[in-house]
Amino acid sequence: MINLIRLAAPLDVGGVRIRNRVFLAPMSGITDEAFRQRAHAHGAGLVVSEMVASGELAKGRAGCDLRIRHSGLPVHMVQLAGREAMHMAEGARIAAGEGADIIDINMGCPAKKVTGGYAGSALMLDLHHALSLIEAVVAAVKVPVTVKMRLGWDDAALNAPVLARRAEQAGVRMVTVHGRTRCQFYQGKADWRAIARVKEAVSIPVVANGDVCSQAEASVILEQSGADAVMVGRAHYGAPWVAGSIAAAAGGTFSSGIPETPQGLADYVVAHYEDMLALYGIESGLRQARKHLGWYLDRHAGGVAGESRKAIMTALEPARVITLLRDVFSRDPQTLNLRSAA
């Protein structure tokens, strides 16, 4: 309980006040503006943009503007990825110019399309190069810079403590550590105790990440890692309220806005769908929303007939999708998994 109470306390990150210590992880293709606004409304302490490729941002590629634009939330945090110091610095300047309060550097993404370009967690193979990127970003902006990393590339190179210590010396104001190596991807169980070695190596805040889905797990990861905050990622699939629920429980309250009735769940899912259509436009929005609709179905209506699911996932007319969604999510409460949250 002591650990949970700690999660409700504010956290200072380079002079930026974060309202509590339960964060929404940056997830590519997921934590867009519509999703972040929901997570924040439910009480997440900090929400982070999708990863933005610094090279594409610096070159003005289409779509990057949606990822970095300010959504009106109290703290706007943008995550950048890349391997070129010039592009990382320019991307940071652009993001700061769009109102970013914090710039996060991605040194943890395990995806082959990212590491194949020597970005993400591949940077942990060359700490000298990784530090050159950190130094370039810190020098380019006045806002706090943070880094998200893994334990290392593989079990033979668990160098997160070294990277974190050198990052702090370069001016980084917070580090987040996912308790797996890159070669583990998301297999096995995250090693929360290993994060403690990073906490021991630095004096800046450390955020523990990996396999946190509930209040109980948040308490244990804090105990085992000694971290200052927790970051929750995949547990949000079909439930944007999970981080907020954990934070609310830590403060002895309940997260607001979680649907508790079939009608409320239907309204919630439809509203999220409509917000994504407004964000991306009809054609792109239809495609972007499907993964979220699939997660809502999996989490809250797992017994839905295959024909109904297929119709929702393939319909090309928004009005038809909404009608189908309302039919599925407005059924008898006994057929739905309501309030599926931490």
Cβ within 8 Å of residue 149, ≥6 positions away: 107, 108, 121, 124, 160, 163, 164, 175, 176, 177, 178
Q: Supply 36's token pair.
A: 């972040």
Does the active-site annotation cover 109? Answer: yes
Q: Which of 64, 109, 183, 213 is catalytic?
A: 109
Per-residue confidence (pLDDT) for residue 339, from 0 to 100: 54
Give pLDDT tens digits for 238-253: 999 999 999 999 988 8
pLDDT of residue 335: 55
Beta bridge partners of 297: none
- What are the average pLDDT values for consecutive 10-residue runs of the chain, which has 342 residues? 80 98 96 97 97 93 88 96 97 96 96 89 96 98 98 94 98 98 92 98 98 94 96 97 95 84 93 97 95 94 83 95 91 58 40
How far apart CA 75 and CA 16 sit, in angstroms, is 8
